[in-house]
Amino acid sequence: MIEIKIPAVGESITEVTISQWLKKEGEYVEMDEVICELESDKATFEMNAESAGVLHHKAEEGDTLEIGTLLCEIDETKVVKSEKKAEKAEEKKSSEASASTGETLEMKVPAVGESINEVTISNWMKKSGDIVTLDEPIAEIESDKATFELTAEATGKLDIVAQEGDTLEIGALICTIEVTDVAPATSTPVEAPKPVSDSDSGNYAAGHPSPAAAKILAEKGIAASAVQGSGVGGRISKEDAISAQKASTPSSPKTTSTDESATPLFGAGREQRRKKLSPLRKTVARRLVSVKNETAMLTTFNEVDMQPIMDLRKKYKDAFKEKYEVGLGFMSFFTKACCQALQEWPAVNAMLDENEIIYNDYCDISIAVSAPKGLVVPVVRNAESMSFDQIEKEIIRLATRARDNKLSIEEMQGGTFTITNGGVFGSMLSTPIINAPQSAILGMHNIIQRPVAINGEVVIRPMMYVALSYDHRIIDGRESVSFLVRVKELLEDPARLMLGI
């Protein structure tokens, strides 16, 4: 009997809720098959079966369990699928007619969002000649804003027309499906599951990669047998797969992979690599050049003494986290300060539409996030009406979805003002480029202990340079400088944020 307990799913997460059981009580499950979804206050996770066998629930949907609590058990000894039954099932499947209806369905690139005119095929999950079923994912397509799954529109034989890496316009032919009445059975014989003996029960997962790890190893071309697993029972975890890639790279003197994460061994030769720009990277490049050429962009600078905020965080961070279950970071202070300053200087929150200026009576704050596929800017909507804990939770939610490449188009559209934090990478000073069609962007930078004069004395203070890039066609110098000074005042005296003065 295999016991499956709630795993540690992230720093500071002490409990999770069972949001959905995907497999029923007493149902047979395969190893690594997804059996349920767990939900924390930060993200949703899938739970995989650690062995093949009969599933027994130990908790119900909606139950909240602490890390390490027993979730379910898998009885490997109750696997009673005999070879004779498997052969009968196979014979029954093979006897079913899979006659073609004579219809060939053309699948075209669907409309995936407003203003998106083309997509790139990033990955085919099925090959030409494969039998696919209705609504089965067959490919991943990537736009300049998000990645989508393409599902089969009928059951039948797949014929791929466009290849991986091809860029297609909306409505272009991507593949065809020769429609059949019944999906033909696969030619692979069904093997009866074998109960695990006592001697093998401790190593049921040894050398077997998790789904996430298997995908990473497949992308990097590394065999699972070459990786040492550190997970439960010797299972290969996602971290093992990532580490294996890093460790395996230096062993190859010539790097010809086009993967961005594949790092060549410098100095081993004079090879060059070429990689096609992703749709996201092309769009970012095009928009940045457009903004620089089509706006009267100017940047004004100031500096902020971060000591008051740091003292406030140090004093209340534990109580804040205990009450709201989220850390108190700098971003909530900057977001609140910007929202208050934007209401006082509405031109900074406005945008130009041909011969008209659109003033926004709300603050949708775009937060720049560095994601695996490039820079994305999800939006915290109506930030002016949110509390500190609500802002922190929303930023964490959006950042997590961005790094998991799960952001939807709706989560990235809109925005009236942008905040970008280059300080997390060590930037001391920069001139951020406006996120069109917005008119201004605030750049945060790293905090450095510097000597400053306060009340006639030189003292060491944690100082941060801040930069406001703005469109001079809408925003005058008085408004831009006054806005940044107001942000500085609010940050250096956080009580003003609480009192709204």
CATH number at residue 48: 2.40.50.100
Amino acid at residue number 154:
A
Both 44 and 171 in a single domain?
no
Question: Of 47, 81, 115, which closes a domain?
Answer: 81
Task: Point out the catalytic residue in the list 200, 311, 404, 476.
Answer: 476
Is 476 annotated in the active site?
A: yes
DSSP 130: -
| Residue 239 in domain | no
Domain of 487, CATH number, reads: 3.30.559.10
The whole-angstrom separation of Cα 239 and Cα 241 is 5
The whole-angstrom separation of Cα 15 and Cα 378 is 27
The whole-angstrom separation of Cα 250 and Cα 252 is 5
Both 45 and 118 in a single domain?
no
- How much is the pLDDT for 57? 92
Residues facing 39 on adjacent strands: 17, 44
Both 158 and 307 in a single domain?
no
Element (H, E) at 184: none
What stretches in the chain show pLDDT beneath 50? Answer: 82-84, 95-97, 186-204, 246-261
Both 392 and 419 in a single domain?
yes
Single pTM value for the model: 0.54
Both 338 and 374 in a single domain?
yes
Both 306 and 446 in a single domain?
yes
- How much is the pLDDT for 204? 42
- Beta-sheet pairing, 457-471 with 297-305: antiparallel
| Residue 486 in domain | yes
| Residue 453 in domain | yes
| Residue 281 in domain | no
Both 321 and 418 in a single domain?
yes
Tell me: cis bond preceding 437? Omega within 30 of 0 counts.
yes
Return phi, psi of residue 372, to 5°: -55, -35
- How much is the pLDDT for 345? 94
Report the side by side order of strands in the sheet with 100-108: 100-108, 173-180, 156-160, 131-132
Q: Residue length, the chain?
A: 501
Q: 411, 335, 348: which is closest to 377 by C-alpha?
A: 411
Indicate the number of domains in the chain.
3
Asked if 441 and 432 count as a contact pair (C-beta separation under 8 A), the reply is yes
Both 384 and 487 in a single domain?
yes
| Residue 189 in domain | no
Q: How many other C-beta atoms are found inside a 10 Å radius of the C-beta of residue 117?
A: 10
**Measured in Å, how far apart are the chain's first and last C-alpha atoms?**
63
Residue 92: which residues within 8 A CB-CB, separation 6 or more? Answer: none
Both 488 and 371 in a single domain?
yes
The whole-angstrom separation of Cα 243 and Cα 110 is 37
Element (H, E) at 243: helix 238-248
| Residue 482 in domain | yes
Task: Point out the catalytic residue in the list 32, 135, 472, 493.
Answer: 472
* Angle (nearest 5°) at CA 159 between 153 and 160: 95
Both 64 and 121 in a single domain?
no
Asked if 231 and 237 count as a contact pair (C-beta separation under 8 A), the reply is yes
Both 365 and 476 in a single domain?
yes
Question: Of 160, 180, 200, which closes a domain?
Answer: 180
| Residue 166 in domain | yes
Both 459 and 343 in a single domain?
yes
Domain hosting residue 114, numbered range: 94-180
| Environment class of 499 (CB within 10 Å of its CB; exposed 0-12, middle 13-18, buried 19+) | exposed
- Beta-sheet pairing, 440-444 with 417-421: parallel
- How much is the pLDDT for 273? 81
| Residue 288 in domain | no
Question: Of 81, 106, 124, which closes a domain?
Answer: 81
- Beta-sheet pairing, 365-367 with 379-380: antiparallel
- Beta-sheet pairing, 53-57 with 167-169: unpaired
- How much is the pLDDT for 184? 52
